[in-house]
Chain A
Amino acid sequence: MTFREDLEQVRDVDDLLPLLNAIPYARALGFSLVRDGTDVIGRMAFAEHLLGNAEIGALHGGSLGSLLEFTAVCKLLTMSEAVRVPRTVNITVEYLRSAGRMDTFARATVTRHGRRVANVHIIAYQDDPQRPVAAANAHFLLAS
């Protein structure tokens, strides 16, 4: 089986975690998943190399964007409707406040899951889920 086919077999977080660990970019980002009931939360473990500004200790917009996108893909993969590995069509990231030297979490909500396209909204936060550091809307192609 190819890696994509392995991903297509994923039904829950337990199936997905070992596959995530095989993705070099996920490891570089310190990305993992936390189970929250039936939901899944993306986690980016803090590391100095993820910063965009070391003087003020702010995470890079790209590391936050990567967390948001990974979280959305994982959310789609763990949904029972998913059969194909989603391909990102586009993503619009809004940066809401500076993200500091601590772990960052992200939660994705699938606003529409069609046969071909899924619309996903993702929010990233640090110590307080009520104070998001970034949010994004993304579209994913589900057909091959």
Chain B
Amino acid sequence: MNALVRLPFDKAQHYFIDVIPYSHFLGMRLVEYTEGRIVFDLPYSEKLIGDPETGVMQGGAITTLLDAVCGNAVLTKLRELRRVATLDLRIDYLRPAQAGRTVRAEAECYRVTHHIAFVRATAHDGDPQNLLATAAGTFVVFEDRVAAHAAADEGEAS
């Protein structure tokens, strides 16, 4: 288990989301995480709207949520924290989200090698049996560490 996974929950929101400008800007919230699995919420807000009349959320907002949750599932799976980047991400949109609902996304990193990590994810807006979208992604795992994560290591050591 790496330093991020061992972080106390109240600090984890900062390292998983708030240091990532666009994730923070859209208002993502960390729900829970264990090794290889993580859950984020995207609470409904005005700036996420794609149809100003119906208030339905834009697909791109859900794309961003799934990208973020997939990348972070990789981070929870790594033995040591490394920088990761999305190689590809496929998203199937099963149906539009209902206006006003929080969208919840859950990702599982089911395989990680020295250089590549494989992830799958789902999103729903209240009923896990009635999915909005599914995603499958691969990520590159780099050799280098990132400063924010190094700070998480140090914060944990002190």
Contacts and interface: CB of A to CB of B under 8 A. Distances in A.
Interface residues of A, number: 40
A29 to B, nearest CB: 7
Interface in A60-103: 60-63, 65-67, 69-70, 87-95, 98
B76 interface: no
B105 to A, nearest CB: 11
B111 interface: no
Contacts of B1: none
Contact of A69 (B59, B85, B86, B88): B59
Interface of B: 19-26, 46-54, 57-61, 63-65, 67-68, 71, 83, 85-93, 96, 146-148
A66 B61 contact: yes
Given A23-B52, A69-B60, A52 B89 contact: no
Given A62-B68, A93-B90, 20 more contacts: A22-B52, A23-B49, A23-B50, A23-B52, A24-B49, A29-B60, A49-B24, A50-B21, A51-B20, A58-B85, A61-B85, A62-B23, A62-B64, A65-B67, A66-B60, A89-B93, A91-B90, A92-B89, A95-B86, A95-B88
A94 B23 CA distance: 19
Contacts of B48: 24-25, 28
A24 B25 CA distance: 14
B15 to A, nearest CB: 13
